[in-house]
Amino acid sequence: MVWFSVRERKWKVGFFGKFSWTGKKEIFDSDNCTISLARSPKDEKLLAIVRRTKMQDSTFMKKQVQIRYMIGFEIKAKPSQPTTEMYAARQNNPKKSEGPKSRWVLQLSDNHWIWDWSKDEDDISASRIYEFYQEIVSEIDNPTLKSDNIFDAKVETHEDLPIPVIYQPRVDALKNFVREVHVAKGDTLPDGSHQLDVSILYNNERLRKHGLLNCLYEPFRRILHGRVMDLETFKILVKESPSKNRLTFKGIYSDKYAMNADSIHGDKGDPPPERSIKYYFASHQHPVVFVNTSNHAMAEHDTNHRIWKVEYVPWLENAPVKLDNKRRDQIDRRFSAR
């Protein structure tokens, strides 16, 4: 585990929920991070993938769960050697500051650093920071990483069934977090392939662009659906080979729209377009899906690159979500019966 720091503009959420970037930049420090390298499948650019985890009590799951976060950025040039300097962590939050004290730091760009507190008994050349520096330099000088679309995650996979991994902007997940992921066997198609219906149940659906209407929208959803929680469904088309699987997002495709959008319903056609899977998590059994807008429209690509994502891996024992196999109509009946 190391620290990760990013210089970024501060963001704010307005009274009616609209997200916006401010003009003020700060350095934000995060501890308990792991760093891995990857190459973009499109243009083979070298990427740093940062993950952070924390444990917290969940009243919904009735146990301690692990919250996973992820963010990635490009390493554009060979970094200079790590240095030693004095630093106060979390300067943007004085209540959680630590230091100033000595740290070993590797600067990866004008806006990204990885580092750790220095240890008196060790030399910087024996540190994990220096080891990572050597790893980056070696990869730039002699590329070895495959330019594939599989996220290298150190977790056990679930090989019995294609289960997606869901990414949601951390800002939106503060109130609209995922509660349940259902993967249900659907229809068998004429070519012998079959469908999996994936239904995601969210704690809420907070409007942002039209946030002024949110106080009316919540009671409307309660009357119409018997719930405030949002329910969205997409399909995985399971072909003869996992690498040929496809996704369909009928009425919920986000296209290019980002988090503030709250009335996006792309791919309404029948049948909806089959979307190629852009990324997989750990293996071809786990397609990656990005929740991009505040009305939970989704896509195979990310439209909120600068924002930390919550990484939902549903099959993990300490996941913050429930994994089940109910169809959408079964979930709806659960609420209408109340």
pLDDT (tens digit per residue) in 37-55: 998 887 788 999 999 999 9
| 63-72, 102-111, 217-226, 270-279: range with lowest mean pLDDT | 217-226
- 113 or 260: which leads in pLDDT: 113
Phi/psi region, residue 192 (left: phi>0; alpha: psi -120 to 50; beta: rest), is left
* pTM of the shown model: 0.88
pLDDT (tens digit per residue) in 123-177: 899 999 999 999 999 999 999 988 888 888 888 887 778 899 999 998 876 678 8
**Please, what is the average pLDDT of the chain?**
87
What gap in Å lies between CA 239 and CA 285, rounded to an integer?
12
What gap in Å lies between CA 213 and CA 204, rounded to an integer?
15
Whether the Cβ atoms of residue 157 and residue 283 lie closer than 8 Å to each other: yes
In the sheet with 19-39, reading across from the earlier edge strand, the strands are 83-89, 98-107, 112-117, 2-13, 19-39, 46-58, 63-74, 309-312, 165-169, 288-291, 298-299
Beta strands at 98-107 and 19-39: parallel, antiparallel or unpaired? unpaired
- 223 or 124: which leads in pLDDT: 124
pLDDT at 164: 95
222 — pLDDT class (breaks 50, 70, 90)? low
Mean pLDDT of 206-233: 64
pLDDT at 162: 87
